[in-house]
């Protein structure tokens, strides 16, 4: 049997046009051009199906890979208390960084004031009534009870990440308690994980098609007018999110001992897929696999990343505080210091309560506005048309933040392989490594 080709060697021998991130980037640009020049064609149902179909293919394997990763990670460790430590440390980190993200959104909103002088004549409460109704239905107790599935099969069928995560943790502990009797089952789950990553490697071949369809449909439906109409808010949000990643997450990465720029380059394929599909879930399986190869332990990856998709939404937090101030400024409503502090407290809760709901960022915004000042709710119609473009930035920031969180918790827990981290970040990693890892791992 021939020796497996290293990631660095493989990346050098593959022509640039065969690299997935190049193909996805080209597809995004081509999709934007098609959507701009031929909007009628771009909004065809089959074009939309390209993006939606790819996201569905990825979501198809999200819950199985979470189950296999979490169960395998827990079952292979000896000390059950370490799992609890990882969970507590992850939640502490999530709350600290989420608070910083919320505060940055407020700070930028007060300094830049993107909504000042904006005409709000188009605000219509009827357009956002559905989002408001969903937001008022969210309660803390319902969120907690929602983590417990009615049935295990139902949790997998619905693709509810938190429900699957809960069952996976319990199953992992049960398998760990079996000791040697569970060896065969542990091996089966490990092999199943490799097989599922093989499925992901196959599905990823369609990533350029999915990115093209999603971007073409988005630009074709909302058009350049949606981009230019509220360009100030879009630009402010993107710049704020970029600075948060470079400054805040960059400082955290520096403390841990790696470069944020190298990490972004390492996950560039996942970032471009998220940009093209506007769905952070579309890159979840690949992110988990890459973080393991980056030196993070399997239990930490299995617990932190899925949990972070509900509790560590840095991009959503920045969006909520910034958008709240934008709407208040556009409607001419002056928010007191107390009301702005209320935004921090309310957004910290609502950002968790809407996890797993389609359009979660917009729904949490509705809930926040209703609590802070009901007069602001009709102003949601101002940002409704451009929320699609905002969601892309939210997803990019969220996935980057979750990747950093996993490395930080691994480092904090003393389970970060520094040698693997440095080697991986200094290499050119190609997505075909997924196939190499599956066939040789």
- Predicted pLDDT of residue 440: 42
Strands (E), 104-194: none
Give the model confidence (pLDDT) of 349-402 as tens digits: 666 544 444 455 666 676 677 777 777 777 776 676 566 677 778 888 989 999
DSSP letter string, 365-429: HHHHHHHH-GGGGGGHHHHHTTHHHHHHHHHHHHHHHHHHHHHHHHHHTT-B-HHHHHHHHTS--
Residue 337: the pLDDT is 84
What's the confidence (pLDDT) of residue 5? 38
- CA pair distance 358, 350, nearest whole angstrom: 14
- What is 7-440's CATH topology? 1.10.3860
The DSSP line for 243-279 is HIIIIIIHHHHHHHTS-HHHHHHHTHHHHHHHHHHS-
**pLDDT at res. 65:** 81
CA distance 244 to 314: 9
Model pLDDT, residue 32: 83
Residue of 431, 385, 406 lying closest to 270 (CA atoms): 431
How much is the pLDDT for 308? 82
Going along 159-201, which residue ranges are E strands?
none
What pLDDT score does 410 carry? 92
How many residues belong to the chain?
441
Residues of the chain with confidence (pLDDT) below 70: 1-14, 16-17, 76-80, 117-143, 222-230, 278-279, 349-364, 366-367, 381-382, 384-388, 428-441
Q: What's the chain's Rg over C-alpha atoms?
A: 22
Asked if 112 and 368 touch (Cβ cutoff 8 Å), the reply is no
424, two tokens = 């991986």
């Amino acid at each position: 049997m021939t020796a497996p080709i290293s990631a660095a060697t493989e990346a050098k021998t593959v022509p640039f046009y065969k690299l997935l991130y190049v193909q996805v980037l080209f597809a995004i640009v081509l999709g934007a051009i098609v959507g701009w020049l031929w909007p009628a064609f771009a909004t065809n149902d089959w074009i939309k199906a390209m993006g939606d179909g790819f996201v569905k293919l990825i979501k198809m394997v999200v819950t199985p890979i979470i189950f296999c990763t979490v169960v395998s990670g827990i079952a292979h460790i000896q000390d059950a208390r370490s799992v609890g430590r990882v969970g507590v440390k992850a939640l502490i980190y999530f709350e600290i960084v989420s608070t910083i993200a919320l505060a940055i959104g407020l700070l930028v909103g007060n300094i830049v004031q993107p909504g000042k002088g904006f005409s709000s004549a188009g605000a219509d409460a009827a357009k956002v009534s559905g989002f408001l109704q969903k937001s008022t239905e969210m309660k803390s107790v319902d969120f907690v009870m929602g983590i417990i599935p009615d049935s295990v099969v139902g949790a997998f069928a619905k693709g509810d990440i938190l429900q699957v995560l809960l069952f996976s943790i319990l199953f992992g502990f049960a398998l760990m308690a079996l000791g040697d009797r569970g060896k065969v089952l542990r091996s089966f789950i490990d092999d199943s994980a490799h097989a599922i990553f093989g499925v992901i490697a196959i599905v990823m071949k369609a990533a350029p098609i999915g990115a093209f369809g999603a971007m073409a449909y988005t630009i074709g439906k909302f058009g350049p007018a949606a981009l230019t109409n509220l360009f100030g808010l879009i630009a402010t949000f993107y710049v704020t999110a970029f600075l948060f990643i470079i400054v805040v997450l960059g400082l955290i990465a520096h403390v841990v001992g790696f470069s944020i720029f190298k990490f972004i380059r390492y996950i560039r394929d996942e970032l471009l897929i998220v940009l093209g599909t506007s769905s952070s879930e579309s890159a979840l399986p690949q992110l988990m696999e890459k973080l393991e190869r980056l030196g993070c332990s399997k239990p930490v990856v299995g617990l932190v990343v899925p949990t972070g998709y509900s509790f560590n939404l840095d991009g959503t937090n920045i969006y909520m505080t910034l958008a709240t101030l934008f709407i208040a400024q556009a409607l001419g409503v002056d928010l007191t210091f107390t009301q702005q502090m209320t935004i921090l407290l309310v957004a910290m809760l609502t950002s968790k309560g809407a996890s797993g709901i389609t359009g979660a960022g917009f729904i949490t915004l509705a809930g926040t506005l209703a609590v802070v000042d009901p007069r602001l709710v009709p102003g949601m119609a101002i940002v409704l048309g451009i929320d699609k473009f905002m969601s892309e930035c939210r997803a990019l920031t969220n996935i980057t933040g979750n990747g950093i969180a996993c490395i930080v918790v691994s480092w904090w827990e003393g389970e970060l392989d520094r040698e693997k981290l440095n080697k991986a970040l200094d290499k050119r990693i190609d997505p075909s490594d997924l196939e190499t890892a599956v066939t040789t791992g």
